[in-house]
Amino acid sequence: MFNKEIYVKRREELKKSVKSGIVLLLGNGEAAMNYAGNDYTFRQDSSFIYYVGLDTPNLAYILDVEQNKEYLLGDELTIDDVIWMGNLPSLKERAAEAGIDRILPFAELATIIGNGLKAKRMIHYLKPYRYRNQLILSEILEKKVDSIASGFSLELTQAIIRMRLIKSAEELTELEDAGKMGYAMHIVAMKMCQPGVSEREIAGTMEGLAISVGNRVSFPTILSMNGQTLHNHDHSGILKTGRLMLCDAGAENLNYYASDFTRTTAVGGEYSERQKNIHNIVLKALNDSIAMAKPGITYKSVHRNAYRIIFEGLRDLGLVTGDTEAALEAGVPALFMPHGLGHAMGLDVHDMENLGETLVGYDEETKRDTLFGYRSLRFGKRLEPGHVLTVEPGVYFIPQLIEKWEAEKINADFIRFDKLKDFYDFGGIRLEDDIVITSQGCRPVYEKRLPVTVEDITLISSH
Ligand code: GLY
């Protein structure tokens, strides 16, 4: 947790952005894994953490804009809580850490919101993503559960997005810390990438490392020889010489900030010519994207440029053919990279995705595309200093997708389907770095870059 002045200042700024009404930020509760009391590790809501800083379950924050009063709502520990969980700080002490003077029992939430509704005041809340919070909102707002999601406050959501997207100096320090942990996790994975080692052992070792120095992994680790499956969480494989291991993973540090890196390592560090060629296309897309990212440029244009590099690289290898601009217009590169170039990152690995991906990543000026591949870009708008983004181009050979395009003659003039058959056992290569946009361009969030060339990855993994 930062010192309380930071949270007080953030809440002051939020108050200026919301004209009137009652702002409600609901914290998360415990979530039962298989029975109440045997819970998933607690994860606080990120907006609650951003404005209140407290990672204790079952809290809510209320800001009455007109009365200029704020409250922390929660329940004091019972003797049973103390017996089972220890003598944790009281609610009053926790509120003081966040710079909040007024505390109320959680049950008062219904009264405050009920009085607000009677007085026809606007109740600003964020779209819930957990059923518990959806049910609480349904009860206190006296609305049907299925109307809760659509009734969220756009004014509050946009105010929060504006603030959270631009990372402050203290947030960048936290992100760097998460980056350092992610870096260590990936070095271990590269070293362990040897024939006969199980994917599960590597994924487990990485996760153990994240837990040993921070909160947890920032998302379930993606690690597989079958890297053509973009979010492959199946770790049942045993590494084999000749295959590639795609590893996309990061850490969440003790203050809830995320890192997210991807490297693809040849098992035992032995890359075939074909693997090197594809790796170098992805590496060029990564490096050129980083070189291009600066204030004033839309990330949508950086994504399109990555698609250009991938198309031209694959054309040099004889896998596609035709004019670059025509291929980009037709969305040809999406066959090989059916995902976006990157996303915002911060307290969430996909920052604020719960508030609405398009609200976070697009605006009046930069609209989301509808074409396959382009439409998957989570963040397309103009870059500003303080934006933190991932840059993660990839080339994948997904047999089912290739066969679908071939059968339906999609972009058939551009694609050498006959040549692609040889790549059905290739898997995929993704390379991912995390950057922060500066006044002039961008820099890595964590100063040390993971080995990224074939030569440097080989040095680590072929010992
Ligand atoms: N690194 C995983 C993702 O961006 O979804």
In ligand 1, which atom is closest to the CA atom of 342? 4
- pLDDT tens track for 377-417: 999 999 999 999 999 999 999 999 999 999 999 999 999 99
Q: How far is the CA of 351 from the centre of ligand 1 (A)?
A: 11
Pair of tokens at residue 330: 């037709």
Q: Is the pLDDT at 463 greater than 80, yes or no?
A: no
Pick from 2, 28, 3, 25: nearest CA to 14: 25
CATH 3.90.230.10 domain position(s) in the chain: 169-461
- pLDDT tens track for 406-459: 999 999 999 999 999 999 999 999 999 999 999 999 999 999 999 999 999 999
- Give me the residues paired with residue 430 across strands: 394
**What does the radius of gyration of the chain's CA atoms come to, in whole angstroms?**
24
pLDDT computed for residue 86 by the predictor: 87
Contact 112, 71 (CB under 8 A): yes
| Sequence letter at residue 13 | E
Which residue bears the tokens 């200029």?
68
| Sequence letter at residue 438 | T
In ligand 1, which atom is closest to the CA atom of 343? 4
Q: How far apart are CA 140 and CA 128, in angstroms?
A: 14
Class of the CATH domain delimited by 169-461: alpha beta
- Give me the residues paired with residue 37 across strands: none
In ligand 1, which atom is closest to the CA atom of 260? 1
CB neighbours of 16 closer than 8 A, spacing ≥ 6? none
CB-based pocket (< 6 A), ligand 1: 219, 248, 260, 343
DSSP state of 241: T
**Pairing state of beta strands 442-444 and 433-437?**
antiparallel
Q: How many CA atoms lie within 13 A of 156 on its CB side?
A: 23
- pLDDT tens track for 99-142: 999 999 999 999 999 999 999 999 999 999 999 999 999 999 99
Q: How far is the CA of 121 from the centre of ligand 1 (A)?
A: 39
State which of 231, 339, 376, 430 you would mutate to test the pocket of ligand 1, scoring each by most atoms of that ligand within 8 A of its C-beta.
231
Q: How far is the CA of 135 from the centre of ligand 1 (A)?
A: 29
Q: How far apart are CA 204 and CA 38, in angstroms?
A: 21
| Sequence letter at residue 344 | A
Which residue bears the tokens 């998460």?
178
State which of 219, 348, 378 you would mutate to test the pocket of ligand 1, scoring each by most atoms of that ligand within 8 A of its C-beta.
219
Q: How far apart are CA 433 and CA 179, in angstroms?
A: 10
Contact 429, 165 (CB under 8 A): no
- Give me the residues paired with residue 435 across strands: 389, 444
| Sequence letter at residue 194 | Q
Residues comprising the chain, all counted: 463
In ligand 1, which atom is closest to the CA atom of 262? 1
State which of 206, 218, 221, 350 you would mutate to test the pocket of ligand 1, scoring each by most atoms of that ligand within 8 A of its C-beta.
350
Nearest CA to ligand 1 atom 2: 248
Q: How far is the CA of 378 from the centre of ligand 1 (A)?
A: 11
Give the start-end residues of each E strand in 225-380.
Answer: 244-249, 251-252, 261-266
Pick one of 3.40.350.10, 3.40.50.11030, 3.20.20.70, 3.40.50.300 as the CATH number of 4-165: 3.40.350.10
Mean pLDDT for the chain?
97
